[in-house]
Structure 1
């Protein structure tokens, strides 16, 4: 993990991509060129510029621009690679990747780059408005937590498997000579939740959906606790989800607006559905490497929905409109075309946290706490705006399966499915036409390999089981 930059170029690390942002008003901050690291974050404006760079880092295609949401469904059972494709991510779909896989290497390296940007904001002491500075620091804590959550879920066995197992290195301050070992999964989760507590307490402003708010941080904390899978964490997941539902002012997008919601461009004011999204536009985007280009038939069109997923939606379910039954020249006929990211001009927004997910978290957590009627209530509230003909009549184990089913349908193509199946320790099945139609939970490839380049640079890192030389 030793970084290859000298400290005089630290600004390039912590402030890179300052010409990118999540909204135009957020964009119009003074960029930096070359200043000593100790002078980089002296004022409130400096901190905001550094924060702009952190969000810009999240937009790259190795993170939320494409890889994270795509792999989260492709590695599971929601998305397939067309038989006519450009060769991207095929090894993930076929479950035959190696230690130096470019997608996992890019995810790891770019996540730690942004973590270092967040670290420098967290440790800065700028002058200016206390409320603004606290907001920026709170957002930096939340960004760091978000990326550690992604890293520990991709590169380690889930908390529900072994909290004492190897997680990922915790880098909480910049040190060019550091060679950190892997913290345990439990230690990483503890750090994530501590960061989110800090974020929740520091943030008081309500920025656009393109930036963290305190309730976005609270929603993420609910999700992290759900993934921990203990009775105590289920209670926290429920309490945090209820806090967001009751107090965030964000409502479920109604059925009549669901399709237009996914067509919208640019960050929005908080209020409808979105708690956090990563926004691209005509200027600030990854171009042909954007997720909409991978799904859109006017782009590569390589990523298609599995028919089995499409068949789960009833005729009255508005979510079915987000998959179009068409054809793909010299390939699939029918082709189940993903239309959740239809904008191939601005490239739209990748949703990171939505209130619908929070309702699903509340429902599952309530079930785990033996509050079935409460669980049914939250699930029914969501389904009222998705499938008016749907009723929640199940109980016991059948109710739990219904909650997981609705999670799959609601969050399809947003990167959630793989992690859900992992935390539940379930086999992945129904992956066609992959060379790996099934991936048992016991398969060592259910955990991404620590990148070979990182193992070569850092002798304190250990590879995951099954990847040992």
Structure 2
């Protein structure tokens, strides 16, 4: 038999690489007889789990697309007038970017369903693999990671392609493939059914993961997914509980004001704050055309996506993140001052090299998940904790005194400063029904527009699957 490690890993990687092309219900996972016969013991299973993690690196989803769309389709970032035509449609005030054939939506949809297909393949062996006492892992721990990864992918599909839980059109969730069947043409499950499946997968994973590697799914990452899940379904008490569980854990710790500017350096790669990240290194990294640095950093190949000057100007001069993560000093040529935009762009200097790990979860997210939960249950506590966190860790002397909607928007604004380009702004605004006008492009988006409610199902999916319906308006 061929080398099993090579077969499993390479084929799972190949599956993620096809994410721009075919629809997920037609796309056959890249497996063959040898692979199906290959996961026969715990060591083979462990290799398959590594391959599953590798599929998360796709720049069509977690490696770049999710962070990119969550900023560009919101209020505090934009594509420069000087651009490569990538994402340039997000500038259009007529919202013409939001069409079913838009490659950003097509590739995100396909990439997430490729991850799910790979997870389904791995989980088809659950209960069939014996524990190998010569290894430090167990089958339960490995399958728990697959359950958690599948939950994360379904969560991100529901977040982007469906309305928020409990509001609007609840019949149009996303398809829920749970087994590997390439002939199935699934309809959209309800939003409730999707979130129930997310809960089922998270429950199957909770507390069962033995590894403590921050470059793989771990127990703290599962807790973070629980925190996100409970925010999404508006169970704020549980969102608070899981956020606090992360904050109480010694698995990660908040970066101090002195440490914050270097969190994203090539040496720190998330530092003590990191909970779960995608490993990129000199031997395993996205191409210069596709990585997150390609469009988001002034030293990148396309250097076109920026923070707005209006956003930058709101940052206090005492903010340790200003002029470190967000800077007016560019690296490439021409200088930012020579760009045709008015006002001039602000460089986002979090990711400076393709070999830097991409952060999927870090402890500061737990802070803001808790603050949002408390806003809806105990706003005075939310205000106190917001002031404590920001003044202690990011902006010495910070003190906010607002209430009501102003408090919620300040919590989410501080979250955007902290977690900019980490995949949150669009979904945070959508979840809380907060519309906006982008000050740089003039794009207006709010809950009265169907484009704010859900991304369109890719056109190819609609054409190939007679059972799936497009979201109303597209």
Using the size of structure 2 for normalisation, the TM-score is: 0.86
Q: Is the 8 A contact 1:161 1:423 kept in 2?
A: no
Q: Aligned ranges for residues 187-198 of structure 1 at < 5 Å?
A: 187-198=193-204
Q: Aligned ranges for residues 346-361 of structure 1 at < 5 Å?
A: 346=355, 348-361=356-369
Superposed displacement of residue 403, structure 1: 1.6
Q: Which residue of 2 aligns with 1:3?
A: none
Which residue among 386, 399, 402 is the counterpart of 2:410?
Answer: 402
Is 1:234 matched up with 2:236? yes
Superposed displacement of residue 34, structure 1: 5.5
Distance of aligned partners of 1:202 and 1:18 in 2 relative to their CA distance in 1, 3 Å threshold: farther
Q: Which sits farther off after the overlay, 140-149 or 279-288?
A: 279-288
**CA distance, structure 2, for counterparts of residue 35 and residue 266 of structure 1:** 42
Task: In structure 2, list runs of 5 or more residues that go unmatched.
Answer: 1-6, 18-29, 330-334
What are the Cα deviations for residues 216-241 of structure 1, in whole angstroms up to 9, with x where unaligned?
11111111211222xxx111101111
Which residue among 255, 258, 271 is the counterpart of 1:256?
Answer: 258
Which residue among 347, 353, 366 is the counterpart of 1:343?
Answer: 353
What are the Cα deviations for residues 344-386 of structure 1, in whole angstroms up to 9, with x where unaligned?
4x1x122211110101111221232226236522651354111
Q: Is the 8 A contact 1:40 1:46 kept in 2?
A: yes
Superposed displacement of residue 162, structure 1: 3.3
Q: Aligned ranges for residues 161-176 of structure 1 at < 5 Å?
A: 161-162=167-168, 164-176=170-182
Q: Is the 8 A contact 2:91 2:443 kept in 1?
A: no
Q: Which residue of 2 aligns with 1:90?
A: 88
Q: Is the 8 A contact 1:141 1:195 kept in 2?
A: yes
**CA distance, structure 1, for counterparts of residue 79 and residue 340 of structure 2:** 11
**CA distance, structure 1, for counterparts of residue 224 and residue 31 of structure 2:** 36
Q: Aligned ranges for residues 265-284 of structure 1 at < 5 Å?
A: 265=267, 272-284=272-284
Q: Which residue of 2 aligns with 1:427?
A: 435
Q: Aligned ranges for residues 172-187 of structure 1 at < 5 Å?
A: 172-187=178-193
Q: Which residue of 2 aligns with 1:463?
A: 470
Is 1:219 matched up with 2:220? no
Q: Aligned ranges for residues 71-110 of structure 1 at < 5 Å?
A: 71-94=69-92, 95-97=95-97, 98-110=99-111
- SS of the residue corresponding to residue 321 of structure 2 reads helix
**CA distance, structure 1, for counterparts of residue 383 and residue 196 of structure 2:** 27
Q: Is the 8 A contact 1:152 1:167 kept in 2?
A: yes
Q: Which residue of 1 aligns with 2:63?
A: 65
Which residue among 12, 16, 32 is the counterpart of 1:15?
Answer: 12
Superposed displacement of residue 36, structure 1: 3.2
**CA distance, structure 2, for counterparts of residue 284 and residue 12 of structure 1:** 13
- SS of the residue corresponding to residue 44 of structure 2 reads helix
What are the Cα deviations for residues 298-319 of structure 1, in whole angstroms up to 9, with x where unaligned?
2211101111211121000111
Q: Which residue of 2 aligns with 1:29?
A: none
- SS of the residue corresponding to residue 285 of structure 1 reads coil
Superposed displacement of residue 255, structure 1: 1.5
Superposed displacement of residue 205, structure 1: 2.7
Superposed displacement of residue 400, structure 1: 2.9
**CA distance, structure 2, for counterparts of residue 330 and residue 255 of structure 1:** 32
Superposed displacement of residue 445, structure 1: 1.8
Q: Which residue of 1 aligns with 2:26?
A: none
**CA distance, structure 2, for counterparts of residue 40 and residue 267 of structure 1:** 34
**CA distance, structure 1, for counterparts of residue 347 and residue 166 of structure 2:** 34
**CA distance, structure 1, for counterparts of residue 317 and residue 56 of structure 2:** 36
Distance of aligned partners of 1:363 and 1:442 in 2 relative to their CA distance in 1, 3 Å threshold: same
Is 1:56 matched up with 2:54? yes
Which residue among 434, 440, 457 is the counterpart of 1:450?
Answer: 457
- SS of the residue corresponding to residue 175 of structure 1 reads coil
Which residue among 117, 125, 130 is the counterpart of 1:127?
Answer: 130
**CA distance, structure 1, for counterparts of residue 51 and residue 90 of structure 2:** 30
**CA distance, structure 2, for counterparts of residue 397 and residue 107 of structure 1:** 32
Question: How many residue pairs were aligned?
Answer: 437
Distance of aligned partners of 1:44 and 1:408 in 2 relative to their CA distance in 1, 3 Å threshold: same
- SS of the residue corresponding to residue 61 of structure 1 reads coil
CA RMSD of aligned residues (A): 2.5
What are the Cα deviations for residues 34-78 of structure 1, in whole angstroms up to 9, with x where unaligned?
543531311112112211221111111111221110000100012
Q: Is the 8 A contact 2:372 2:382 kept in 1?
A: no
**CA distance, structure 2, for counterparts of residue 234 and residue 250 of structure 1:** 23
Q: Which sits farther off after the overlay, 446-455 or 389-398?
A: 389-398
